[in-house]
Amino acid sequence: MTRVTSEFATLEEVKFTYKMNKSSGWPFKCIGGGPFGFRAYHPSDDTEMAAAIVNSWKQHYGFFDGEQIAANFISWMDSGPRDIGMTTREALTAISKGADWWEGGRAIWEKNPHAWSNGSLMRNAVVSGMGDSIVEIFDHTLQHGMITHWAPLPAICCAAQSWLLNNPEVVDEEDWREHFRDDWRFWMAATEDPLSRGWLGLTIKDQEEAWQIFNDADFDMHSFRPFGEIEHIGFCLTTLQIGVWAMQWAMSDKPYPVEYLPEGFPPEPFQRTGKDVIGWVVMIGRDADTYGATAGPMVSVWGVDEEEVRFLQGLDLIYEGNPIIERNGCYKQISEDWLGLAMLEYNVVSKEDNFSGVFKVITDAHTIIFYEHFAWEGPHTLNFAPIPSAVLRDPSDEEIAEATLRAIKRRQELNFVCNCCDDLCHPWQSNDGVTCHGCATRYQGVVY
């Protein structure tokens, strides 16, 4: 999350903004303003479009649905947002007039194969957790982008971010792009999704150029200088470079060398390290909201601890009063209550594998109450355990009772009673709606 005061600002304007607002905590605290006059903590277009993707995931109970994402994007566009990219508006307008959802950006790419803006990358991070394999993740990464941005270079940049969010430990290795390219090639051979295969075939002539540009880009944390001249501030590759640069410096936990800054640029913000690197990104100005939306998940990929909860406090978009689930630093709201959230999550994933994860309960005041760990190892084996090191405050008896009652009610509404074990089971745990998978395997020899 980045504040919007430095959006479209030059470096000189950023210096002035810092001088006038450093006493308020900027750039590490939102103060509002900017070209669109947003109040502090108001979400930018990047955040609103990412939320539309998350809402689709919720609406379809943990399944990716590109058509629903496009519909949510159009509803957002029709609501009259103050900030919306030209490419995004053109593509969504085409869909609203009858184009298929996956072809929203195709005409733009055919008209201009170098339509390399960052409008798909800015919302991409949430998709990095929407899949159980690299093939699924790359499919979903590509397809949410196809709604508005068809060109190969934005698709590659989005895929690189998704890949890094799932492989953060290699970001400081010189050859991380080679490993990423290997997984991309594996995905090209392995994907059976007709939309992905169709896109790969149609864009084949442009992919070589895109990869050449990607491979020639500077991803070294010391030699890449985001405070230098940026020819095209909304260029997808520059935006990814800033995200990787921020991720690398956050990992290093070292201050930014003063000699890397422009002459006369304030050095104080760059003495703060770790996840505070997001404040460095704010100081870049130019397309700062999108740089921040891209870099934010990358600098916080290992999660947010107690001391860093300040990054979430005051934000308008934490799904008022509802919990969110965290996987690889990406936050997703799945259901309305914390037990129901876990039920939906483990049922989706458990079709093939055991699953465990961490989720958190957030109050209406956006205060994290506590973290819980849950594990699923087959029908009727859901386990919960608090994480003591992450507890911010103990939940009250009333809060636990209310959440439990909501979960019980949800189970009664959604689930059926197995005719063998008499336990409540989710519909996804049964093929016939009568017997759960566990009993069908145990008593009927059915293998799932």
Q: Which pLDDT score is estimated for 321?
A: 29
Q: Judge whether 333 lies within some domain.
A: yes
Query: How many domains in the chain?
Result: 2
Name which of 58-62, 278-282, 300-304, 310-314 the model is least confident about.
310-314
Residues 80 and 228 in one domain: yes
Residues 286 and 340 in one domain: no
pLDDT at 3 over 50: no
Q: Judge whether 318 lies within some domain.
A: no
Q: Judge whether 6 lies within some domain.
A: no
Q: Supply the CATH number for residue 129's domain.
A: 1.10.4080.10
Q: Which pLDDT score is estimated for 343?
A: 42
How far is the CA of 333 from the CAs of 164, 317, 338, 445, in angstroms?
A: 22, 11, 10, 36
Q: Judge whether 319 lies within some domain.
A: no
Residues 77 and 200 in one domain: yes
**Residue length of the chain:** 448
Distance from C-alpha of 73 to C-alpha of 51, rounded to nearest angstrom? 10
Which range, 21-25, 105-109, 351-355, 413-417, is most confident?
Answer: 105-109
pTM for this prediction: 0.70
Q: Judge whether 111 lies within some domain.
A: yes
Q: Which pLDDT score is estimated for 304?
A: 55
Q: Which pLDDT score is estimated for 413?
A: 62
Residues 330 and 289 in one domain: no
Q: Judge whether 3 lies within some domain.
A: no
| Partners of 344 in the β-ladder | none
Residues 244 and 332 in one domain: no
Residues 276 and 388 in one domain: no
What percentage of the chain exceeds 90 in pLDDT?
47
Last residue of a domain, one of 252, 283, 311: 311
In sequence order, which ranges of 22-85 are alpha helices (DSSP H)?
45-59, 66-78
**Rounded mean pLDDT of 322-339?**
34
Q: Judge whether 1 lies within some domain.
A: no
Name which of 104-108, 225-229, 357-361, 441-445 the model is least confident about.
357-361
SS3 at position 57 = helix
Distance of CA 103 to the CA centre of its chain: 22
Which residues span the domain enclosing 373? 324-444
Last residue of a domain, one of 311, 333, 368: 311
Residues 295 and 334 in one domain: no
Q: Judge whether 253 lies within some domain.
A: yes
Question: Of residues 289 and 308, which shows the higher confidence score?
Answer: 289
Residues 92 and 70 in one domain: yes
Q: Which pLDDT score is estimated for 443?
A: 73
Question: Of residues 34 and 123, which shows the higher confidence score?
Answer: 123
Residues 212 and 268 in one domain: yes
Using 50, 70 and 90 to split pLDDT, how confident is the model at 426? low
Distance from C-alpha of 183 to C-alpha of 114, rounded to nearest angstrom? 24
Residues 304 and 354 in one domain: no
Q: Which pLDDT score is estimated for 90?
A: 96
Last residue of a domain, one of 311, 339, 373: 311
Residues 215 and 156 in one domain: yes
For 310, phi then psi, to 5°, come to -55, -25
- Strand 330-332, strand 324-327: pairing: antiparallel
Q: Which pLDDT score is estimated for 417?
A: 78
- Pick the closest to residue 49 from 6, 112, 104, 11 (CA basis): 104
Using 50, 70 and 90 to split pLDDT, how confident is the model at 358? very low
Question: Of residues 42 and 116, which shows the higher confidence score?
Answer: 116
Q: Which pLDDT score is estimated for 333?
A: 32
**Rounded mean pLDDT of 381-400?**
47
95-135: pLDDT as tens digits: 999 999 999 999 999 999 999 999 999 999 999 988 888 99
| Partners of 218 in the β-ladder | none
Name which of 132-136, 196-200, 221-225, 281-285 the model is least confident about.
132-136
142-153: pLDDT as tens digits: 999 999 999 999
In sequence order, which ranges of 218-285 are alpha helices (DSSP H)?
236-252, 277-282
Residues 436 and 289 in one domain: no
